[in-house]
Amino acid sequence: MFSWRRFIVAAAFVAAIVAVIVLNARAGGSGASTSETIHLSEVAHASGIDFVHQSPTLDPKVAHIAAHIAALGACVSVADVNNDGWPDLYFTTSRFGASNALYINQKDGTFRDAAAEAGIGSLNRAGEGVSMGAVWGDYDNDGLEDLLVYKWGYPQLFHNLGNGHFEDVTAQSGLRSWMNSNGAVWFDFDRDGLLDLYITGYFRSDIDFWHLRTTRIMQHSWEFATNGGKNLLFKNLGNGRFKDVTDSMGVGSTRWTLAATAADFNDDGWPDLYLANDYGPEELFLNREGKRFELARAGLEDDSKSGMAVAVGDVFNRGRHDVFVTNISERGFLFQGNNLRINFLKELGRFNEIATGPVADAGWAWGAQFGDLNNDGRLDLVVVNGFISADSGREYWYAMSKIAGAQGDIFEDAKNWPAIGTASLSGYERSRVLENHGQAGFADVAEAAGVTDLLDGRGVAMADLFNRGTLDVVVANQKGRALLYRNAGPGGHWVEFKLVGTRSNRSAIGAEVTVQLGNARQRQVVDGGMGFCSQNDRRLHFGLGDQRLGAVTIRWPSGAEQVLRGLAPDQLHVITEPK
Amino acid sequence: MNATAPPPPTAARVPVWADPKYLIVFLITLVLVAGEARYSILGGYDRLATTLGICIATEVLLSWWLRGRVANIASAYITGISLALLIKPQANILWPFALGAFLAIGSKYVLTYRGRHLWNPSNFAIALLVLVAADQVAILSHQWGNDLRINLVIWAFGLAVASRARVLHVTLTYVGCFIGLAALRNAIVGGPLLAELAPITGPMYQLFVLFMVTDPRTTVSTRRGRIIVVAIVALVETVIRLAGDFQLALLRPLYPSPPLLALALVGPVAMWWDLFRQGRKR
């Protein structure tokens, strides 16, 4: 009798092993979906964009892992710099002597680099530091987008003079303070009509990467590190000066923040701060009426990963700001998984994390942005990835795994890290284009859509670059050429909004637009920095799908609410805030 | 990991609190509670519920069905917790925990020789998942932050329990071999010595050294044999690590967890040889 029982148990045992193999194989096939509606073609060179990022050179004391430390700094930010109605692009590079680029839109499908003549090109200088990214915002409400360049070094604020030139106003602004920053966001936290500035710290601010006094510069934990650079909040005083109010407002996190963005997540009318932290949990700082920020317990604190970017989008058209944060996945070694956090702050006081399949696993993911690439009324998601693409026959994962699980004191000291040499680390990964199918989830259609590059993506931004009613995608690659994916999709109905603040900041950063789409409604926010070291166009783009354009509700940063009805689709509407 | 220790040397009744089996239950519970409270090491209580539930249910069902009596669930409890701690799959999937738990306990009843199972249950399940489900499963790579106290507390309790369970020689042999072989690896591949020593300061190694490699039910019968076997495990681990350093693509699937896979390779062969020799003596 025992023999047939044993046979049944053995059969179940074998069946379980087969099930493991089958379920694992399913994951491997998740990247092969087709798309009939998203078509992107890479046209950077044809458009006159030949920008190539260069990584910084660092102190020889960390030469053995310089490729790891210096794998940051490729950024792209979008703004209409010259108010001609066409979005322009700003790219940063990170090597002394190399120039950042300001590509002015020529309105004919091409761009021209005007950074040198504008005075915002040659910013990477010994003693001053190297560029890590930039955000645009009209801090003085003169109707011209100004530029903040954050660096490993002294950040620089440039006032847009309106004549194609910029003036460096850092010294008088009060912002000249050495930081090792990889992110910044403009937002008006106290709703006084002036854009304030939050600059994130990554490495500690006492570290000068070209004159290291110590090699104890790394994180002291892979999951709960708190020894990063301090994030700083600067209040705009309105006279061209900024005041550091970090401590009084309670937002001085030292959790190795790589990205920050601002939006009103809890619908109380005040912009909150959401941080993606490397080596630690994400942080949501809820704005208490501009008087202070409170670290929310919103289901984030126990979920420690390696946050690289934070993008905000209304995933299911519920009129809410959901959040996507990129993380690391590497076959066999580490599955942190990206987080797709659905906003239930009102009902449950928390986000629900629902990422699975291609949404969860996008390799070593960096920049990400939501945008309706096929105008079907749902926000798709673009994720760029790849950390270090070097010798494809050698990889650093094993060497890094030796110290990754160790006592923090060991790997906090860079000299204990194994040399990376010429090895790759999650290199040559393909970017993801995740088409939103609503309740059916996201499908990775990158290959079918024409996105096949294997460069090390960092910043990604979206904008209707050619005023066609369709979103294009711009990617800044580390040690690689910038890419411009021109949207060649069939297109559907759409509507776009350019908002001009009056009582609010002129850039209207923080303004929220909710568009009624049949029974659903999609909400978007004008961002002052989103993703990883990137910023989308100030103009908001909504695909309409097969729905009629219903009421459009604008909530301005000042608190004013405006409802517009009967707007025509397939147009850009310029809306000025009622005084 | 299996809690069943060899019988004590004397006939004196051992109080429950001093029974090595329950000391190990206590120790792994301590690791779980400390890791979860301080560092959220589990990644979700659903993972713990799944592995623990299926481990215990499988143990109860199979022991009753195949052996006519319900086994003590302490072993399944330890296996369940260690799997919940060690398996780190892609986000929001539970099947590796469910199937891993079933395979771990199932291996005790299916992969046997002369009535004894050959693999440490959790070692078998983890090795199998890492090797055949690498697209979705990795193993624990967390560390105890930079908090030396937690590290020391767990090592202190662990060594005390290992001593009580009379397997301290296994633990110390492994640690000694690891340190010696780390120095050897360092001499061969260069770089910082601390990078070679670093792995043993992490929780994955604590679970491995204090629970898995010392499992009395899957170690050989003699003290000398156990010392030799654990030294061979450390040696095979070093071979895997050197292959990792020299980027030997063939062994790439083994790189993420050298000690666990070394034990999965060496342990059953040693067990089989030991049981075979015992059988011939009889």
For the segment A34-48, what is each residue's pLDDT rounded down to a tens digit? 777 899 999 999 999
3-state secondary structure A174-234: CCCCCEECCEEEEECCCCCCCCEEEEECCECCCCCCCCCCCCCCCCCCCCCCCCCCCCEEE
pLDDT at residue B118 greater than cutoff 80: yes
Query: What's the distance, CA B45 to chain centroid?
Result: 21
B168 and B158 in contact (C-beta within 8 Å)? no
Average pLDDT value for chain B: 88
Contacts of B134 in chain A (CB under 8 A): 24, 331-332
Comparing alpha-carbon positions, the chain B residue that sits nearest to A10 is: B110
Comparing alpha-carbon positions, the chain A residue that sits nearest to B186 is: A418
Q: Which residue has the tokens 């006084």?
A: A192
Comparing alpha-carbon positions, the chain B residue that sits nearest to A417 is: B195
- The whole-angstrom distance between B118's CA and the closest CA on chain A is 15
CA-closest candidate to residue A464, choices A567, A377, A537? A537
Contacts of B93 in chain A (CB under 8 A): 356
pLDDT tens digits, one per residue of A273-307: 999 999 999 999 999 999 999 999 898 887 778 99
Nearest CB among A16, A361, A423 relative to B90 is that of A361
pLDDT at residue B234 greater than cutoff 50: yes
> Which of B146, B245, B255 to substitute to test the interface with A, most A CBs within 10 Å?
B146
- The whole-angstrom distance between A519's CA and the closest CA on chain B is 30
CA distance A510 to A560: 12
- The sign one gets for the Cα dihedral B43, B45, B46, B51 is positive
Helix axes B121-132, B74-86, angle to 10 degrees: 30
Average pLDDT over residues B171-177: 97
- The encoded tokens of residue A567 equal 């707007």
B181 and A445 in contact (C-beta within 8 Å)? no
Average pLDDT value for chain A: 95
CA distance B219 to B230: 9
The predicted structure's pLDDT at residue B204: 81
A533: confidence class by pLDDT, cuts 50, 70, 90 = very high
Helix ranges, A105-168 (H): 115-118
pLDDT tens digits, one per residue of A199-230: 999 999 999 999 999 999 999 988 889 999 99
A276 and A256 in contact (C-beta within 8 Å)? no
Cα distances (Å, whole numbers) of residue A105 to A102, A185, A465 = 9, 24, 8
Is A221 in contact with B140 (Cβ distance < 8 A)? no
CA distance A163 to A117: 11
Contacts of B103 in chain A (CB under 8 A): 13, 16-17, 20
- The encoded tokens of residue A499 equal 């908002």
> Which of A403, A411, A420, A424 to substitute to test the interface with B, most B CBs within 10 Å?
A403
Nearest CB among A16, A23, A405 relative to B102 is that of A16
- The whole-angstrom distance between A13's CA and the closest CA on chain B is 6
CA distance A133 to A185: 11
Strands of A283-288's sheet in order across: A257-263, A272-277, A283-288, A292-295
B35: confidence class by pLDDT, cuts 50, 70, 90 = confident
Amino acid at A576: T
B4: confidence class by pLDDT, cuts 50, 70, 90 = very low
CA distance A146 to A494: 29
Q: Which residue has the tokens 């001093």?
A: B18
Nearest CB among B143, B144, B195 relative to A417 is that of B195
Contacts of B133 in chain A (CB under 8 A): 20-21, 23-24
Contacts of A23 in chain B (CB under 8 A): 95, 99, 133, 136
Task: Tell me the count of A-B CB pairs closer than 8 A.
Answer: 190
- Looking at the DSSP bridge assignments, the partners of residue A235 are A243
CA distance A177 to A168: 15
The predicted structure's pLDDT at residue B3: 42
CA distance A463 to A371: 9
Nearest CB among A10, A337, A416 relative to B90 is that of A337
- The encoded tokens of residue A510 equal 């923080």
Is A417 in contact with B148 (Cβ distance < 8 A)? no
**Cα angle: B95, vertex B96, B100; to 5 degrees:** 115
What b/e string do you get for B147-169 counting C-beta neighbours within 10 Å, with b at 16 or more? beebbeebbebbbebbebbbbbb
The predicted structure's pLDDT at residue B17: 66
From first CA to last CA, the distance across chain A in angstroms is: 88
Average pLDDT over residues B135-150: 74
pLDDT tens digits, one per residue of A465-502: 999 999 999 999 999 999 999 999 777 899 999 999 99
A270: confidence class by pLDDT, cuts 50, 70, 90 = very high
pLDDT at residue A85 greater than cutoff 80: yes
pLDDT tens digits, one per residue of A370-408: 999 999 999 999 999 999 999 999 999 999 999 887 888
Contacts of A21 in chain B (CB under 8 A): 132-133
B145: confidence class by pLDDT, cuts 50, 70, 90 = low
pTM of structure = 0.94
| Share above pLDDT 90 across residues of chain A, in percent, rounded to a whole number | 91
Nearest CB among A5, A394, A405 relative to B65 is that of A5
Amino acid at B89: P
pLDDT at residue A32 greater than cutoff 60: no
